Amino acid sequence: MTSLSGLLHLPETLQLIGLGLIGALIGSFLNVVIHRLPIMIDRGSGEDGDAGEDDRYDLALPASACPSCGHRLRPWENVPLLSYLVLLGRCSACAAPIGWRYPVVEAASAAAGPLLTWHFGLTAQGLTATVFVWFAIAIAAIDLRHMLIPDLLSLPLLWLGLLASTQNIFVTSSVAIIGAVAGYLAFLMLSRVGARLTGHPVMGAGDAKLLGAIGAWIGWSHLPQVAVIASVLGSIVGLALVFSGNRHRSQPVPFGPFLLIGGVAALLWGGTLGAMFGLRG
């Protein structure tokens, strides 16, 4: 893979710092997506074309505000990570605590670029893998809170994976297409079989679309690795929650985050994991 570092006449340290700063800004936007997109879906936003700006609710409007008191955030209160530290994790108007999700998402998004660049180098693989992780952060956070994987995130992730395959960044186009179809259909079949055996839904259609999107990035041959990692992690976490009394045995556990962890692992170490698990990679 041809390095892109020659196109950027900056020392490597500055390149990594720049990627981190961009990632922090992306993380701030992802927090808006995580908070607002489920509300937009619930309200059916975008269907009412004559809604005025006062009634508009999307990713741009209204301006960011404290959910407890409605205080509109000033620019200095909206600086990724720094504002949280300066405000000591509380609203400047009502002192209500700011959710831990905000700095965690910003920190994870900021770290993604430098870490993946360290792994892949400043290459097309490193940059596109960073985009994959940014999508993964938003999807996982929404699924954890709402048991929802929005098509508005999983479908663009699918198209981006197929687009990346046209340049053979991770896999070829034919492998990506087969991976997308295999991921979607296999998961859909498993969810229907599970529903028939248990009498209630065990996995949602959103999970199937997400695995199809992951398949477009990593190809069909790495999907078993994703399934193994997601199943093991999901089982461990589910059992831990049941035995700790935080979840009833019949309550479903969001499966999207575990699929995404498996997808990121396959993207980074697919060949190594394939050899470790005895799966084709």
Residue 4 lies in a domain: no
* Cis bond before residue 62 (omega within 30° of 0): yes
- 76 and 146 housed in the same domain: no
Extract the tokens encoding 156: 């663009």
- 18 and 107 housed in the same domain: yes
The residue among 114, 137, 160 that closes a domain is 114
* Residue in 181, 155, 179, 186 with CA at minimum distance from that of residue 165: 179
- Residues with pLDDT less than 50, the chain: 1-2, 5, 7, 46-49, 281
- Collect all residues with Cβ–Cβ distance below 8 Å to 254 and sequence separation of at least 6: 143, 144, 147
- 186 and 221 housed in the same domain: yes
pTM here is: 0.88
Distance CA 258, CA 264 (A): 10
Q: Containing domain of residue 21, as a range?
A: 12-44+52-114
Residue 166 lies in a domain: yes
The domain tally of the chain equals 2
- 162 and 235 housed in the same domain: yes
Residue 3 lies in a domain: no
- 96 and 153 housed in the same domain: no
- 232 and 259 housed in the same domain: yes
Residue 56 lies in a domain: yes
In this predicted model, what pLDDT tens digit does every residue of 21-38 receive, in sequence order? 999 999 999 999 999 999
Q: Are 137 and 108 in contact (CB under 8 A)?
A: yes
Torsion over CA: 110, 113, 116, 121 (sign): negative
The residue among 114, 133, 154 that closes a domain is 114
Residue 5 lies in a domain: no
- 110 and 161 housed in the same domain: no
- 65 and 165 housed in the same domain: no
- 219 and 160 housed in the same domain: yes
Task: Determine the 3-state secondary structure of 90 from DSSP.
Answer: strand
In this predicted model, what pLDDT tens digit does every residue of 142-181 receive, in sequence order? 999 999 999 999 999 999 999 999 999 999 999 999 999 9
Residue 64 lies in a domain: yes
Amino acid at 148: L
Residues in the chain, overall count: 281
Residue 61 lies in a domain: yes
* Residue in 123, 154, 166 with CA at minimum distance from that of residue 37: 154
Distance CA 100, CA 89 (A): 8
- 57 and 133 housed in the same domain: no
Q: Where does residue 174 rank: exposed (0-12), middle (13-18), buried (19+ CB within 10 A)? A: exposed
Among all chains, which residue has been given the structure tokens 């180098």?
121
Q: Are 139 and 224 in contact (CB under 8 A)?
A: no
- DSSP for 63-106 reads --B-TTT-PBPPGGGGSTTHHHHHTTTB-TTT-PBPPTHHHHHH
The residue among 97, 114, 131 that closes a domain is 114
- 193 and 210 housed in the same domain: yes
Give the pLDDT of residue 67: 85
Q: Are 242 and 249 in contact (CB under 8 A)?
A: yes
Give the pLDDT of residue 86: 94
- 65 and 201 housed in the same domain: no
CA atoms within 13 A on the CB side of 257: 17
Residue 2 lies in a domain: no
